[in-house]
Amino acid sequence: EGLIEFYGSFKEMFEFFCKNTTIHGTIRLVCSGSNRMKTAFWTLLLLASFGMLYWQFALMFSQFWAYPVVLTMSMHSEPKMFPAVTVCNLDPYRFELAREQLEQLERMAEESLAFLYGPHASARSSPLGDSSSPLGDSSSHLGDSSSHLGDSSSHLQGQANLSSSSFSLSHNFSLVRTWHLGAGKNHSRVGFRLCNSTGGNCFYNSYSSGMDALLEWFRFHYMNIMAQLPEATNVSQHQEHVRDMVYSCQYDGEPCRPSDYVHFHHPVFGSCYTFNSKGTDPFWTATKPGIPYGLSLILRAEQKEHIPLLATVAGVKVMIHSHNQTPFLEHEGFDIRPGIATTIGIQQDQVNRLGGNYGKCTTDGADVAVELLYNNSYTLQACLHSCFQHAMLQHCGCGYYYYPLPAGARYCDYNRQPAWGHCFYQLYSRLRNHRLDCFQQCPKPCR
Amino acid sequence: AATAPGKKITARLKRTLPVRGPQAPTLSELMRWYCLNTNTHGCRRIVVSRGRLRRLLWILLTLSAVGLILWQCAELLMNYYSASVSVTVQFQKLPFPAVTICNINPYKYSAMKEYLSELDKETKKALETFYGFSEGKSKVRRSVDDWNSTGSDFFQQIPLLKVEDFSRTATELHSGQKRKIEGSVFHKDSSIVNSGDSNDIIGFQLCDANNSSECALYTFSSGVNAIQEWYKLHYMNIMAQIPLETKEKLSYSAEDLLLTCFFDGLSCDKRHFTRFHHPLHGNCYTFNSGESGAVLSTSTGGSEYGLQVVLYIDEADYNPFLVTSTGAKIIVHDQNEYPFIEDIGTEIETAAATSIGMHFTRSRKLSKPYSDCTETGADIPVENLYNKSYSLQICLHSCFQKAMVDSCGCAQYAQPLPAGAEYCNYKKNPNWMYCYYRLHEKFVKEQLGCQQICKDACSFKEWALTTSIAQWPSTVSEDWMLRVLSWDKGQKLNKKLNKTDLANLMVFYKDLNERFISENPANTLVILLSNFGGQLGLWMSCSVVCVIEIVEVFLIDSLSIVMRRQWQRAKKWWSQRGGSGRASDVERQGHDNPACVDEDLPTFTTALRLPLPQDSPLPRTPPPTYSTLRLETAFTEQLPDTLELGPH
């Protein structure tokens, strides 16, 4: 056998080709040629299909060299349900039961202000002016402050006892200024001290800005006061306020009905109304786009019961969300200032996560290890809050006031758990730094 | 008797269902049988090929085809598992973007007095003259005389003109002189807005210093715009002469601007901000610039966890002619991006809390050949004047600046300096303003070629912002808050703060979803080849193997047959010729004799030694069960027919 063997004639070559070729059918028929007519026909067919092949090749090549790309996106314009809309007036109630304590707290805040920033006057005449000399060390200041507030506590104590409940404001958490020797310059921070139950472990929750410190300090006391309120106080007696806040409500040109909203009270954002919270009423079907076909409200943002140290902004907080979803106004709410007309155009984006092998997500929250404390549909925020509340109960023995309580638990207040603040702030920073495994336990919703 | 029926049954079974052994007695035979009968065509070609080299080539081809199949299948699998999830990716932790904050007023007006007093005096005078709203309304003519006597630089350089009804005459507003307008007229304001009363048109004329007949008149329908533009021109001239260090001192310091700072639930201060000097906005401060350590990130959405700052905007110290609004300008950008505050900044107002919610989108385009974008900007012939990562904006600005330096000889004030250039001022470059306006005109009309050279960046990050405003501080909390903030501001400030001096700003992630939009090629090589495979199979029931086969048979082998025919003919002709003239050709032997050479030609001899085709038909793929196919018998008879097909 040679290296390459060639054929002697075309006859031989064709014989070999017809016997061994891998092009099936057609070529065999051409090769067979038992009938000239048939052979000619099949030859034509073969040539035609060759032609088709090259034409298709050309198309494919031109397509390939155009380098197209694919981006999948779909648009839907069928009528939808109008989303749920929550509006809050940023004016938290002074609950009757806690009114006295709140006033007392405000007096305490006023005293702290006077102590830190001088009596109600300009910053120049601060009594700290001389004592806050650059070398003033923090320990001596601590002593100063505790004695200072010690004086005032005596008469405040008396008043607290007069109130109907057994709750009394604690003076262990007074605001003090601490000085740090910075690079060439003194930095002062304002904060309050938190200790664990034995008093052996303490830290300052301090802020470089007095404003932030005062707000946080007030919020901490406020939580303690509110925690002792019985859970059922609230909404019912304030039901009549609807007329006070919503002056006019129209949807799609028709006036809203009393059944269209749900009222709740938020400890920071005040009185809130959720319109179309269930999303089942055909009244709220969105038929046409455009300003006249949406929801139009005239709201009153009065601050008659205002607690000046709790909410520092005036206006209305608005959130647009899905039906059956607890609105977390602090995350996705936005503000509207009084005195202006605001038009809000909305557009819905739906993100579907594949789940399974592609990434962790949950369809209805049933497979999440955390017991949800909100009886609405699953959201990541709801899960995180529930997870934190469970951690709170486990570590500190009581619940955080801003989140709902599981059955049988109580909110924290420092009359019962004097050290809860210490526990809470540490737990909270652990949550933020991902050292609490809430972020691992709470997957995103799949849609 | 008992065994007889059993034997019968087995015999019958053997007859009806004959049990056969393997198809061939030896292993090599079995392989050969497999290769001949399999549908994997390459295998068959190995066996039926004639010649060792041919066979070797087919073995190599088959093996490499197997390799290719494995590779392409792996690629298809990888595509399947990766491309389908690249649209939205979620992160538990998102890097916080850099936030640059500037006061709208670039420099403290009180500190700038030294440089601007002259200009401001003249601007005030101009306002008096044109609109007569000053204290001494009646003394218009006299003030003009004063002017002429003091010999104002600014109006001499570029006089403000009142254009009369497009009649190509204009009145110099401060002197009352009429002058003829030559050259082209540019309307900076759209003529639609124009009131129609063309007497009101105010503008200024810029002339080529080298050729005074070359002039351009810029008109504005509103005197406010005219005066501001005119002021800005002079202002840039003055600022161009002040060194950077001085300018930084003239502008606001971090302590001036920032009253409180709060990020992710923790207190922060001016050390978290980096200074960045912007030529038009003075000192700006970038939070989380990444220059002093790691980039901060947030793990929770919501305003509580974002950046919260209270800014001190000293309204009393504003430049009255340069800026007409109060507040701050902010921009959210990536750490590697240059903040183009003048182009895409968001303005926030005083006495209000502005919350800015962010949605993060990351986009990735495919570069060449899919679309015309650039990965790093290294392939763009424009030098990047900003030491930040490439963007279209940077390229356009750099391109314009380069054109400016090339044609006007100095650099425009608002953009960074190229190496070896300096900013324009009319002491050194008296002609620059005319040049600048002409160049800018060209740039806007896309005649400079910048828009053609500069390409989009392939990957970019974008923060979509939702802004909402609430009244802040609320009336009831105003009292204590101003007290605390005044103290924080420090002892050096004697007065109590006013709420119109403050602005509250919150920047936060609305949710921690990162939207990642990426392009994937619709046609990869694998898809192209798969399409080919589909087409070949559909129309020809054939594969790459059969394409090679066609090449082998119809090109190489056919050619060799034709060549051999020609050679034989030539040889025949030679031998006939040689037979007639042998006597004369005796001496032509050896290497000169072509007849000698051909004796040794390997192809020829091997061809002669070819074994005859086998009598029995070769084993092959079992023919399809079409009734029309009766190849075995048809072949031996019909071969001459097929032979006719070939050469014609």
| Residue A50 sits at the chain B interface (C-beta within 8 Å) | yes
Which of A432-436, B281-285, B400-404 has the lowest average pLDDT?
A: A432-436
List of residues 6+ apart from A118 with CB closer than 8 A: A124, A125, A126, A127, A128, A129, B487
| Mean pLDDT, residues B88-111 | 82
pLDDT for res A136: 35
| Mean pLDDT, residues B260-273 | 84
Tens of pLDDT, residues A242-295: 777 888 888 888 888 877 888 888 888 888 889 988 888 888 888 888 888 889
> Is the pLDDT higher at A339 or at A130?
A339
How many Cβ pairs closer than 8 A exist between chain A and B? 333
pLDDT exceeds cutoff 60 at B320: yes
Tokens of A117: 């920033």
| Cβ–Cβ gap B468/A36 under 8 Å | no
Let me know if the fold of A80-94+238-336 is the same as that of A361-445.
no
A175 within 8 A of A193, measured Cβ to Cβ: no
CA distances from B522 to A73, A358, B110, B375, B527 (A): 15, 21, 62, 20, 9
| Residue B479 sits at the chain A interface (C-beta within 8 Å) | yes
pLDDT exceeds cutoff 80 at B498: yes
List of residues 6+ apart from A397 with CB closer than 8 A: A417, A420
pLDDT exceeds cutoff 70 at B519: yes
| Partner residue opposite B474 with nearest CB, options A71, A120, A313 | A313
| Cβ–Cβ gap A32/B630 under 8 Å | yes
Tens of pLDDT, residues A351-372: 777 777 666 788 888 888 888 8
| Residue B2 sits at the chain A interface (C-beta within 8 Å) | no
Distance CA A365, CA A385 (A): 14
pLDDT for res B356: 92
| Cβ–Cβ gap A23/B546 under 8 Å | yes
pLDDT for res B330: 93
Tens of pLDDT, residues A134-171: 333 333 333 333 333 333 333 333 333 334 456 677 77
| Cβ–Cβ gap A337/B564 under 8 Å | no
Identify all chain A residues contacting B472, using CB atoms and an 8 Å cutoff. Answer: 312-314
CATH fold of A361-445 reads Helix Hairpins (1.10.287)
| Partner residue opposite B50 with nearest CB, options A5, A303, A335 | A5
B449 within 8 A of B382, measured Cβ to Cβ: no
Identify all chain B residues contacting A430, using CB atoms and an 8 Å cutoff. Answer: none
pLDDT for res B186: 56
Distance CA A59, CA A66 (A): 11
Averaged pLDDT of chain B: 75
Tokens of A289: 């786009």
pLDDT exceeds cutoff 70 at B187: no
Tokens of B227: 């005066």
| Mean pLDDT, residues B611-616 | 48
Distance CA B497, CA B312 (A): 9
| Mean pLDDT, residues B128-136 | 64
pLDDT for res A238: 53
A328, closest residue in chain B (CA to CA) = B302
| Mean pLDDT, residues B242-246 | 88
pLDDT exceeds cutoff 90 at A410: no
Distance CA A314, CA B415 (A): 41
| Partner residue opposite A69 with nearest CB, options B45, B370, B470 | B370
B487, closest residue in chain A (CA to CA) = A123
B152 within 8 A of B122, measured Cβ to Cβ: yes
| Residue A425 sits at the chain B interface (C-beta within 8 Å) | no
Distance CA B157, CA B489 (A): 44
Domains and their CATH numbers in chain B? 26-82+522-556 (no CATH), 94-105+253-367+458-519 (2.60.470.10), 116-132+153-241 (no CATH), 374-454 (1.10.287.820)
Q: Give residue for tokens 């969105």.
A: A286
Max mean pLDDT range (A257-271, B4-18, B131-145, B323-337): B323-337
pLDDT for res B212: 62
Phi, psi (degrees; rounded to nearest 5) at B577: -65, -45
**pLDDT band, residue B307 (cuts 50/70/90):** very high
Q: Give residue for tokens 């830190």.
A: A116
Which of A142-151, B493-502, B525-534 has the lowest average pLDDT?
A: A142-151
pLDDT exceeds cutoff 80 at B490: no
| Residue A330 sits at the chain B interface (C-beta within 8 Å) | yes
Q: What percent of chain B has pLDDT over 90?
A: 10
Tens of pLDDT, residues B150-163: 445 565 566 676 66
pLDDT exceeds cutoff 70 at A47: yes
A110, closest residue in chain B (CA to CA) = B480
| Residue A210 sits at the chain B interface (C-beta within 8 Å) | yes
| Mean pLDDT, residues A105-126 | 70
Max mean pLDDT range (A88-97, B97-106, B448-457, B639-648): B97-106
pLDDT exceeds cutoff 50 at B452: yes
B471 within 8 A of B481, measured Cβ to Cβ: no
Distance CA B282, CA B249 (A): 10
| Partner residue opposite B634 with nearest CB, options A32, A50, A212 | A32
- Nearest C-alpha of chain A: how many angstroms from B52? 5
Distance CA A42, CA A193 (A): 98
Query: DSSP characters for B29-73?
Result: HHHHHHHHH-S-HHHHHHHH--SHHHHHHHHHHHHHHHHHHHHHH
User: Hey, where are the domains in chain A?
Assistant: 10-66, 80-94+238-336, 361-445
| Partner residue opposite A28 with nearest CB, options B48, B466, B629 | B629
| Cβ–Cβ gap A332/B511 under 8 Å | yes
Tens of pLDDT, residues A302-311: 777 778 888 7
| Cβ–Cβ gap B641/A1 under 8 Å | no
pLDDT for res A389: 92
| Cβ–Cβ gap A187/B269 under 8 Å | yes
- Nearest C-alpha of chain B: how many angstroms from A78? 24
Query: DSSP characters for B95-140?
Result: EPPEEEEEESS-S-HHHHHHHHHHHHHHHHHHHHHHH--SS-TT-H
CA distances from B51 to A17, A399, B523, B544, B619 (A): 15, 89, 40, 21, 18
> Is the pLDDT higher at B442 or at A186?
B442
Is A80-94+238-336 assigned to CATH 2.60.470.10? yes
Distance CA B414, CA B423 (A): 9
Which of A417-426, B11-20, B434-443 has the lowest average pLDDT?
A: B11-20
| Cβ–Cβ gap B635/A17 under 8 Å | no
- Nearest C-alpha of chain A: how many angstroms from B277? 24
List of residues 6+ apart from B375 with CB closer than 8 A: B367, B457, B458, B459
| Cβ–Cβ gap B474/A29 under 8 Å | no
Max mean pLDDT range (B240-244, B262-266, B567-571, B626-630): B567-571
